[in-house]
Amino acid sequence: MTKRRIIILVFPGFQNLDAMGPLEVFAAARDADGRAPYQVELWAEAAGPVVTSSGLQVLVPNGFGPAPPDCDTLIVVGGGGTEDACRNRRLTDWIAATAGRARRVASVCTGALILAASGLLAGRRAVTHWNWCGTLAALHPDVRVETDPIFVQDGAVWTSAGVTAGMDLSLALVEADWGRDAALAIARDFVMYMKRPGGQAQFSATLAAQATGPGRIGQAQGWILDHLDADLSVAALAGRAGMSPRNFARSFQRDTGTTPAEFVERARIDAARRLLEDAPGRSIEAIAATCGFGHADVLRRAFQRRTGISPGDYRDRFRSTDRSANP
């Protein structure tokens, strides 16, 4: 059997998990006959030790030469060195040339910015780490950036959200190649969920609030998260912040990149997700009231719009089984 060649491209300052997570997924894959179907390789601009964002040195055996003609899948990772990598024309030209010969190309986390710098995301849907979606959209307005999904497929180009989402993407690639059973076997072995598009989103209102930091807007975000069933209109929030509604709305969007209403709905959806996962006995109506939606129908419409599935389907897919590692 000819193995499918998977090339994972790294660079100085790459995030170790961006590369090693997918590498382990592909290395663990087995086809229907129990054979290892992939040949997984690390590549860099020059062969030798490459320092990760955490300071770990990784020995990379393959350096740039002509674009490999037999690359099945090219995966570009992200990390602290992403911006330097985007400016490296030799690297982006090699990516473009290799991608042109590969069956498919993918990125992990901020690797999407490198794909965009290589000209591979123009006119395509893509995702990256939630905290870098705005940067990707600003630098490359021809890319249709989606902020929520764990990963996005647009034709032969796949992009994933932050860090460990690269393993979810890799599971999806294995599933596309060898079927659900092959991917599920890896997920069970790695103690992972089989996350799918339209399932759990990467955006967390809590993380966004932490990123905003102190100040009146950050305090307002914290109050929202703790009082989801309260009046969270702009007028009410502005009054608590001691600001005019117009100034509050402008300041909120400037500091957070989103409107107050958008943040409130996302925070309520986040809370509803947690209750759907962890409170199987609680009704949809009760969850809607707790999270500030008021009625179950309002929750259902917002949930379907945000996630692509109903609250009931989400509960069936992601609810906790309440299993413990301890007897």
Residues annotated as part of the active site: 109
What is the Cα 42 distance to its own chain's centre? 22
Pair 128, 109: CB distance under 8 Å: yes
Six token digits for residue 35: 């054979």
Six token digits for residue 182: 């092959």
214 SS3 class: coil
Pair 8, 169: CB distance under 8 Å: no
Measuring CA to CA, which residue among 69, 124, 67 is closest to residue 97? 67
* Long-range Cβ contacts of 54-58 (<8 Å, 24+ apart): 54/16, 56/16, 58/10, 58/16, 58/19
DSSP state of 128: -
Amino acid type, 154:
D
Instruction: Give CA–CA dist 191/32, Å, rounded.
Output: 21
